[in-house]
Amino acid sequence: MKKKIAIISNVSWNLYNFRLSLMKAMQNAGYEVVAIAPQDEYSQKIIDAGFEFYPIKLNSQGINPLQDMQTTVKFYKLFKTLSPDFICNYTIKPNIYASLVARTLNIKMINNIAGLGTLFVNQGPITHVAKFLYKISQAKADKIFFQNRDDFELFTGEGIVDRSNCDILPGSGVDMKRFRPQVKPKSDVVRFLHVSRMIWEKGIGEYVDAARIIKAKYPNVEFCLLGFLDVENPGAISREQMNEWVEEGVINYLGTSDNVDEVIATSDCMVLASYYREGTPKTLLESASSAKPIITTDNVGCRDVVDHGVNGYLCEPRSVEDLVEKLEMFLALSMEERHKMGMKSREKVANEFDERIVIGKYLEVLGKYSDKRVVSPSVAV
């Protein structure tokens, strides 16, 4: 009988866009893979990709104890029905509440702590509660993956998790076949692209302020934003605010897209001005794999993707002045220098962030507990 793996996240979009390759690799390795997440428009796409999908209602942003208790009960009922041999958790609430249930039911768990978000940016009472919940929920985890060394050192250094039980992944990895160098349509306009959820902590305000300054000096420069608007988050940017920026002419808002690779191909440089507690931003990995230079903050997770002056530039978080300086440094480069910088991005991803590295580590852990011969995917440049 096939071993069953439940892959769990706080949104179906996350599973479809970030975990589908891993799910297919697990399936190809002989496991039965099911998905658990709140229902959204991507749930059906997961089903169409060949996986069973089980909806669960949870409030990914709220801190209501009663709602979280109800979520925990729902996980318990689902696990009793599905009887998974393994669960693989992503995002904060599945990592905590699904893990607590798995601990009770003696289900093996592989958890992925992919960034700590705003909760750990401004330390407060809720942060201490979160650390406590992480500590008790991760105590029996069979493996805990982190996406950057900063988070690994924070959790192990404070004794939240056992260092011997942890490993560091190169982010979520990236599909280098899909995200590949493409010829940008000819244009006299230099296009900067910022891809993220539209929340202030992603540095959207700093990006807009920098765009306003740059456009006043360089009329042939365009600043684009791509990502979800009106997200359920206390730091969400309103549609009214976005419309103001667009009407001002400082920003071109592109909405959302399932073909991010094609949007990236139209840009000259990827920017992420985040001061959010990132894992390793997938958008940076995808852009680097697409051979784009990157300007991002010297911030947790973000800095891991950029070798300053080699494949892009690092700027100070929350500093519009420093971001403007790095944008101007890029604008001063020749086309040949920009191309060389982009190819260094591609090279860095091939060496450090190919998704086959991530898949290989998951299959290795699963093989340890299921007596399967481990065949790690080869990594190619």
d(CA 74, CA 72): 5
Q: Among 117, 320, 81, which Cα is nearest to 202's? A: 117
Does 126 reside within a domain? Answer: yes
Does 375 reside within a domain? Answer: no
Per-residue confidence (pLDDT) for residue 234, from 0 to 100 = 76
Per-residue confidence (pLDDT) for residue 374, from 0 to 100 = 47
Do 319 and 363 share a structural domain?
no
Per-residue confidence (pLDDT) for residue 123, from 0 to 100 = 65
Does 180 reside within a domain? Answer: no
Tens digit of each residue's pLDDT, the chain (381 residues): 889 999 999 999 999 989 999 999 999 999 999 999 999 999 999 999 999 999 998 877 667 788 889 999 999 999 999 999 999 999 889 999 999 999 999 999 999 998 776 666 566 677 888 888 999 999 999 999 998 888 899 899 999 999 999 999 988 889 999 999 988 878 889 999 999 999 999 999 999 999 999 999 998 999 999 998 876 777 899 999 999 999 999 999 999 998 999 999 999 999 999 998 888 999 999 999 999 999 999 999 899 999 999 999 999 999 999 999 999 999 999 999 999 999 999 999 999 999 999 999 999 999 998 765 544 444 433
Beta bridge partners of 111: 89, 144
Torsion angles phi and psi, residue 12, rounded to 5: -65, -35
DSSP letter, residue 119? G
Does 376 reside within a domain? Answer: no
Would you say 193 and 271 are in contact if contact means Cβ atoms under 8 Å apart?
yes
Range of the domain at 36: 4-173+354-370
Do 343 and 319 share a structural domain?
yes
Q: Three-state DSSP class for 270?
A: strand
Do 167 and 22 share a structural domain?
yes
Do 211 and 118 share a structural domain?
no
Do 294 and 228 share a structural domain?
yes
Q: What angle do the packed helices 204-217 and 320-331 form, to 10 degrees?
A: 50
Q: Tally the domains of the chain.
A: 2
Does 182 reside within a domain? Answer: no
Alpha helix segments (H runs only) across the chain: 12-14, 20-28, 43-48, 65-82, 92-93, 99-105, 125-138, 149-157, 204-217, 239-248, 260-265, 282-289, 320-331, 335-352, 355-370
Do 24 and 102 share a structural domain?
yes
Q: Whole-prediction pTM value?
A: 0.85
Do 141 and 19 share a structural domain?
yes
Domain of 118: which CATH number? 3.40.50.2000
The sign one gets for the Cα dihedral 76, 83, 145, 351 is negative
Does 379 reside within a domain? Answer: no
Per-residue confidence (pLDDT) for residue 376, from 0 to 100 = 47
